[in-house]
Amino acid sequence: MAENEIFTRDVLIKYLNESDKEKIKELTERAYKVKVDNIGTKVYLRGLIELSNICSKDCYYCGIRQSNTKVERYELTDEQVMEAAEFAWRSKYGSLVLQAGERCGRRYISKVTRLVKNIKELTGGELGITLSLGEQSKDVYKEWFDAGAHRYLLRIESSNKELYAKIHPKNTRHSWDVRVRAIKDLIDVGFQTGTGVMIGLPYQTTENLADDLLFIKEIGVHMVGMGPYLKHSDTPLGSIADEHPSLDLTLKMVALLRLMLPKINIAATTAMQVIDPYGREKAVMAGANIIMPNMTITEVRKNYQIYENKPGVKDDASVSKSKLEQNLKEMNIEIGWNEWGDSRAFKG
């Protein structure tokens, strides 16, 4: 492997097709070294609060899609969210993520604004806030940014417009162009912005994945959260794919992205843990530097099943925390307690 290799489409495809274990190991070790040289060894935590599973979208892959009538819908109260935020703060997590299905009503938008302000007030501004609440107007993004949130995650899901159209209903509520516009709006508003894709989607090719990496680089985000696509039987795509993508494919994606973008934040996502109990930790050893331990209250966790076999649905926040800490300790991975761990690719 050349030291200053240029990651053209062809080069990326070659690596993504690599099946030799030794060569994959070489790639991930090289990515780990690039991470350490550029942003250090630490992993930063963002406690994840799944605010609500009510969703106005109908993505063909997602277990909480609007048409899935088997899901019991919930929305956490302000008190429940504040309790979780306090847990994150006292646990020295540094940051939290508020995630939910997509909604645009005024009451809901104002609730998020209020929660962001209250969390900032409760923690004296110490706890960093990331939002992952889907596509909104630029004005709403600005309202939430002004309230004190400073990072936002919005996956493009797939950079390929045709593939995107195959995994979403064909209507204006599920438009690839609108989603790209929203990512650009977030960057414009001033958020540290993250995007990402699902790996191993039905119909997806290696070429699509190479293009995903090039798209991520081109659009200029500061953070990335990508992970394996995992099926959910109560969805239209659930009957198509019955095999998980290999963890190796995800690790190759993480490693290549780290080599292409040495300074961004890359999440080791929960879906990786479904394929392999140490999936997230292995992703850290392949260049990822962010982990999002679940802090959602146990009563509603079972209702936020975007895919099947989501780990830890019976755990509470402190069990998720101690399991993760144990895993990270076993792998000698250092945690950046009480630190925001902002993306070094963000120029402000």
Q: Report how far apart the first and last C-alpha atoms of the chain are (Å, whole number).
A: 34
Q: Per rule CB under 6 A, is residue 87 in the interface with ligand SAM? A: no
Q: Per rule CB under 6 A, is residue 132 in the interface with ligand SAM? A: yes
The rounded distance, in Å, linking the Cα atoms of 73 and 108 is 15
One of 151, 155, 222, 252 touching ligand SAM (CB under 6 A): 155
Minimum distance from CB of 56 to ligand SAM (Å)?
9
Helix (H) or strand (E) holding 16: helix 9-16
Minimum distance from CB of 58 to ligand SAM (Å)?
12
The rounded distance, in Å, linking the Cα atoms of 151 and 128 is 8
- What would the two tokens of residue 266 be? 């890359």
The rounded distance, in Å, linking the Cα atoms of 263 and 34 is 9
Minimum distance from CB of 154 to ligand SAM (Å)?
5
The rounded distance, in Å, linking the Cα atoms of 316 and 107 is 28
Q: Per rule CB under 6 A, is residue 230 in the interface with ligand SAM? A: yes
271 closest CA partner among 251, 255, 241: 251
Q: Per rule CB under 6 A, is residue 61 in the interface with ligand SAM? A: yes
Residues 261-320 that bind ligand SAM (CB under 6 A): 271, 306-307
Stretch that binds ligand SAM, among 56-64, 120-128, 163-171, 327-335 (CB under 6 A): 56-64
Q: Per rule CB under 6 A, is residue 120 in the interface with ligand SAM? A: no
Minimum distance from CB of 43 to ligand SAM (Å)?
21
342 closest CA partner among 128, 137, 188: 128
The rounded distance, in Å, linking the Cα atoms of 308 and 62 is 10
Q: Per rule CB under 6 A, is residue 154 in the interface with ligand SAM? A: yes
DSSP secondary structure letter of residue 245: P
Residue 101 or 336 having the CB closest to ligand SAM: 101
* Binding-residue pattern over the window 88 to 107 for ligand SAM, x denoting contact by CB under 6 A: -----------x-xx-----
Q: Per rule CB under 6 A, is residue 49 in the interface with ligand SAM? A: no
Q: Per rule CB under 6 A, is residue 222 in the interface with ligand SAM? A: no
Residue 64 or 249 having the CB closest to ligand SAM: 64
Binding footprint of ligand SAM, residue count (CB under 6 A)? 18
Stretch that binds ligand SAM, among 57-65, 158-166, 250-258, 313-321 (CB under 6 A): 57-65
Q: Per rule CB under 6 A, is residue 157 in the interface with ligand SAM? A: yes
Stretch that binds ligand SAM, among 71-79, 119-127, 153-161, 186-194 (CB under 6 A): 153-161
C-beta pairs of 185-189 under 8 Å, 24+ apart in sequence: 185/138, 185/141, 186/141, 186/152, 186/154, 187/219, 187/220, 187/221, 188/138, 189/138, 189/141, 189/142, 189/145
> Is residue 52 within 8 Å of residue 71, measured between CB atoms?
no
Amino acid at 159: S
Q: Per rule CB under 6 A, is residue 343 in the interface with ligand SAM? A: no
- What would the two tokens of residue 346 be? 């963000």
Which residues in this chain contact ligand SAM in the complex, by CB under 6 A?
61-62, 64, 99, 101-102, 132, 134, 154-155, 157, 198, 229-230, 232, 271, 306-307
